[in-house]
Amino acid sequence: MGTCPIKVWSNMPTLKNPTEPAMSDDNRPMVVSLYDIPSQGPLESSIHIGERLTVLLDDGDFWVVRSTMTGNESYIPSNYTAKVINRWQYNGISRLNAEELLLLPHNHTGAFLIRESQTNTETYSLSVLVKMDSYLATVKHYRICRLQNGWFYISPSLTFYSLGQLVEHYSESADGLCCLLREPCIIQGSNKSTLTTRPYPKAIRRPTLNWNDVDRWGTFLNLPSIIFCVQSDLHTIYFTVFQYEIKCDDLSMQSIALYTHCKMMHSDGSSK
């Protein structure tokens, strides 16, 4: 997820004492990486998706950038980045980019961002993260329409004179959204974010079987289970493994029923 689609150029220009611009505040644009950029040579180091970048050299379609999180520098296409205003308004990103940024492990339920719609230049999309538990998460998308007088709305019954007012309202009342807007999508390396690492997959074990959960037909009403998470670049697959013990008279036998539940999370890249 988030790996750059083509090889990055390795002929990065040599910089002599580059001057890093001053740290921007919430009202000035920030630049964020949209992909994991692999190392390509002695002058380049890895930059990860969601990290804040400082532009050291603007070479047209390619930039020399430095991660404010790690200090690593790289020479990358400018369209591998996005400009962010007010920490939540992203310019030039797709629905898939929004989902990849919000599904990074340091974000929590209510994390959000607003992006320009790819299908209608007159509208925006609000993308909101919802986490059901430690492993299951989804991103909900809402179309933000604009009236002829310039006001914005998600529901026609509620209109706002600015995107900022819309965000403020839905931070206080869900009013039909999946949840409250709690905080903008975290940008690693910004003044309001801290370093986090991806958690290792864990097995969650429930207590052993309570035979009161078995009805007269031998159906398991509430099976104990073990949940496993398998991740790849394109999918996150969740397996629930039910474990139970069968006992009869002087015979004790253990059995495991595998693959009783499988959920796959995959972003198809379609946009509103």
Candidates 3, 27, 33; CA nearest to 189 is 33
DSSP secondary structure of 60-72: TTEEEEEETTT--
Assigned token pair, 266 = 């995959």
* Lowest mean per-residue pLDDT among 94-98, 116-120, 122-126, 201-205: 201-205
DSSP secondary structure of 169-188: HHHH--TTSSS---EEPP-B
Q: Give pLDDT tens digits for 34-57.
A: 999 887 655 555 899 999 999 999
What fold does the segment set 86-193 form as a domain?
SHC Adaptor Protein (3.30.505)
Candidates 161, 158, 162, 189; CA nearest to 71 is 189
Ranges of each domain in the chain = 1-85, 86-193, 204-265
**Contact (Cβ atoms closer than 8 angstroms) between residue 67 and residue 53:** yes
CATH number of 1-85: 2.30.30.40
Q: Give pLDDT tens digits for 115-125.
A: 998 888 789 99
Report the distance separating Cα 212 and Cα 215, nearest Å.
Answer: 7
DSSP percent split of the chain into helix, strand, coil, nearest 5: 10, 40, 50
Structure pTM? 0.61
Same topology between domain 1-85 and domain 86-193: no
Helix, strand or coil, per DSSP, at residue 45: coil
Say which residue the tokens 């946009």 belong to. Answer: 271
Report the distance separating Cα 238 and Cα 202, nearest Å.
Answer: 11
How far, rounded to the nearest angstrom, does the alpha carbon of residue 141 sit from its chain's CA centroid? 13
27 vs 75, residue with greater confidence: 75
Could you tell me the sign of the dihedral formed by the alpha carbons of 98, 32, 112, 117, in that order?
negative
Does position 90 have pLDDT exceeding 80, yes or no? Answer: yes
Work out the pLDDT band at 145, boundaries 50, 70, 90. very high
Assigned token pair, 267 = 């972003």
